[in-house]
């Protein structure tokens, strides 16, 4: 038996892959949250008297050379016809950041409550012993 060798059994292999269901939920949330936030932004901008900057109430000017792309002309016409599109996008970004922040905080609480223990298979919890202060 050497100085640095050990007779402990080998560590069990830990599966660190994300479950496919969790990947699917994350993918769905990445699609649904921006759609919900854009819908909420349109409702907020249209129904609540929020003072907007002049740059937020102008329509987006699409360059003339982009109208040479025949398949995208209806999209460019729609973009130019929306005077509040910039404010919708700004509010949607803010709302989606807030929604993602709330979701990550809730996930953190749930993970702390139901997740794996703080200690691994080779860890031992700290000793709960009152240490007497050394005095000379």
Average pLDDT over the chain reads 86
Residue pair 113/105 in contact by the 8 Å Cβ criterion: no
pLDDT at 130 over 70: yes
Q: Which pLDDT does position 115 carry in this prediction?
A: 79
pLDDT at 65 over 90: yes
Q: 85-102 pLDDT, tens per residue? A: 999 999 999 999 999 999
Q: Is 61 or 14 the better-scoring residue by pLDDT?
A: 61
Residue keyed to tokens 């060798």: 5
How far, in Å, CA of 83 to CA of 57, rounded? 6
Share of residues in the chain with pLDDT > 90 (%):
48
Nearest to 76 by CA among 89, 86, 66, 90: 66
Tokens of 34: 């921006």
Task: Return the exposure string of 24-37: e unless at least 16 CB atoms fall within 10 Å of the residue's CB, then b.
Answer: eeeeeeeeebbeeb
How far, in Å, CA of 37 to CA of 48, rounded? 16
pTM: 0.70
Q: 19-56 pLDDT, tens per residue? A: 778 788 888 899 999 999 999 999 999 999 889 888 88
Angstrom distances, CA of residue 82 to CA of 3, 38, 76, 104, 113: 76, 14, 10, 33, 46
pLDDT at 1 over 60: no
Q: Which pLDDT does position 2 carry in this prediction?
A: 61
Domain boundaries of the chain, sorted by first residue: 20-65+81-110
């Amino acid at each position: 038996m050497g100085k640095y060798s050990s007779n402990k059994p080998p560590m069990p292999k830990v599966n660190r892959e994300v479950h496919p269901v969790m990947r699917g939920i994350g993918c769905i949330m990445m699609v649904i949250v921006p759609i919900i936030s854009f819908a909420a932004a349109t409702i907020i901008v249209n129904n609540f008297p929020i003072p907007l900057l002049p740059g937020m109430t102008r329509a987006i000017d699409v360059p003339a050379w982009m109208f040479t792309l025949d398949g995208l002309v209806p999209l460019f016409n729609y973009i130019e016809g929306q005077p509040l599109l910039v404010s919708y996008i700004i509010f949607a970004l803010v709302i989606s950041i807030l929604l993602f922040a709330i979701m990550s905080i809730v996930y953190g609480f749930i993970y702390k409550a139901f997740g794996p223990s703080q200690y691994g298979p080779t860890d031992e919890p700290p000793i709960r012993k009152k240490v007497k202060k050394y005095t000379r």
